[in-house]
Amino acid sequence: MNSVDVSNELHQLLTGNNVQTQLSVPQLVEKVLSRNEGVLTSTGAVKAETGKYTGRSPKDKFIVEEASVKDKVDWGSVNRPISEDVFNKLYNKVVDYLKAKEEIFVFNGFAGADESSRLPIRVVNEYAWHNLFAHTLFIRPNEEELRGHEAEFTILSAPNFKADPEVDGTASETFIIVSFERRTILIGGTEYAGEMKKSIFSIMNYLLPEAGILPMHCSANVGREGDVALFFGLSGTGKTTLSADTNRKLIGDDEHGWSTNGVFNIEGGCYAKTINLSREKEPQIFDAIRFGAVLENVVVNPDTRKADYDDSSLTENTRAAYQMQAIDNIVNPSIAGHPNTIIFLTADASGVLPPISKLSKEQAMFHFLSGYTSKLAGTERGVTSPEATFSTCFGSPFLPLPAQRYAEMLGDKIDEHSAKVYLVNTGWTGGAYGTGSRMKLAYTRAMVQAALEGELSNIETVKDEIFGLDIPLHVPGVPDEVLQPIKTWADPAAYKQSATDLAAQFRANFKKFGSVPSEIEELGGPIA
């Protein structure tokens, strides 16, 4: 990764008298409060609101169609092209807008804990609380690193600058535009801080494979013996809960790379959902929300200044950003060896997938490409009953390259390091949503622990007749009948019909991967 020259426009912006560079956490908190951008909660965290945009705006995200990336990017509904002319005009408008502000805030840091492949980044913000967010989520340099820091990618974030679609060529007033040749990300028209985090992740998902490194949307932890585990899963599957284990050290909760050296965290902080958060359920997250943390769209009592994590009146997507160091049980720096165990998490609302099953490499690639879970009512507007959802590689909104490339890299890594892969269903048992019940967390923890400790490597299994999955017959701490879904349903015929319906959805979704080797489709896919 070679640094690029700063454009004249950006140079003038960064050398202006209004620039506040590399402020400390106390200084940024003071700025947030003095500028009335947020309030201080009873634990010392900053609480801010993001207005009408309380989540990402995927339809407003674009990649500039430049010569160097034109034939590499997987263009479509996720990676939408936009012209260089549109980008350049907006770039100049955003720079001029930021120049005119009384204050702007700059953070210099890194993405990637492995020094051999990390990306030096710069984040330029209109808001002080956004800069505190960047300071929290990305990797902070020490004094020596800061002196030699040369940004290779820059975020320009101007939430109050709203585009005019008819004039500026955008889809709406909001825009998130990546230029790989200008090494710049433009963000405007939205105050949702998560756009910055996910934009850098998207950049890494493009750059890392070029260096032979697999980028992954997963959490990771390491055991006392140095054994490394990865947890893939979409929202609501238990990824954060299951990777937060008092007996294992957290490497990171969301974004990682897998290189020839092992696994490393891409970030320096965590961005956790907080709806219904409690100390009893998730003590690590609860106790990490202290001075320097950022609460996003969390309702706070104006008198006591206490956060009400059960209040979803602003949004279901309430968030907390906090530094990794706010958690006691972590790996520091956030790097570890090669994974021994890989867990794919799904919350199947149809209640037909086994609570745990062993996957071959081909099955692992199939389920990695599928990225299945059930989207539950309340997670998005308009969702009134559970819906099957498939997010390629458990992170399709952030993948600039064709999905098959990431799956092939995963398959190669599994082969090279003999990693064991398991599919774990944290969803329903004994029937579908509304009839059955959610899998007991104690059972799921017991199954995951058995997988991590190698107790399932050579255990006797039975093959599921519909999905072709190998189901362990015994798992310590779990009743045998729970392991086979058909035995938990009152009506076996109803189970088979529901399972066949889900298998058909898997097959229909998989048709979009036209160039996948047949052995993956045949061995990995449902065999109803």
| Active-site residue set | 56, 198, 217, 235, 239-240, 254, 319
With a CB cutoff of 8 Å and minimum separation 6, the contacts of 344 are 232, 233, 359, 364, 367, 368, 394, 421, 422, 423, 424
CB 179 within 8 A of CB 90: no
Cis bond upstream, residue 283 (ω within 30):
no
With a CB cutoff of 8 Å and minimum separation 6, the contacts of 31 are 20, 23, 37, 103, 105, 128
Burial class (CB in 10 A: 0-12, 13-18, 19+), 235: middle
Shortest CA distance to 126 belongs to which of 195, 52, 39? 195
The token pair that represents 164 in the structure block: 């005019």
CB atoms within 10 A of CB 212: 12
Q: Alpha helices, DSSP H only, in 180-288?
A: 194-210, 239-243, 283-288
CB 92 within 8 A of CB 354: no
CB 444 within 8 A of CB 451: no
Shortest CA distance to 242 belongs to which of 397, 446, 63, 411? 446
Distances (CA, A) of 331 to 113, 118, 221, 337: 11, 17, 8, 11
With a CB cutoff of 8 Å and minimum separation 6, the contacts of 490 are 430, 431
CB 156 within 8 A of CB 185: yes
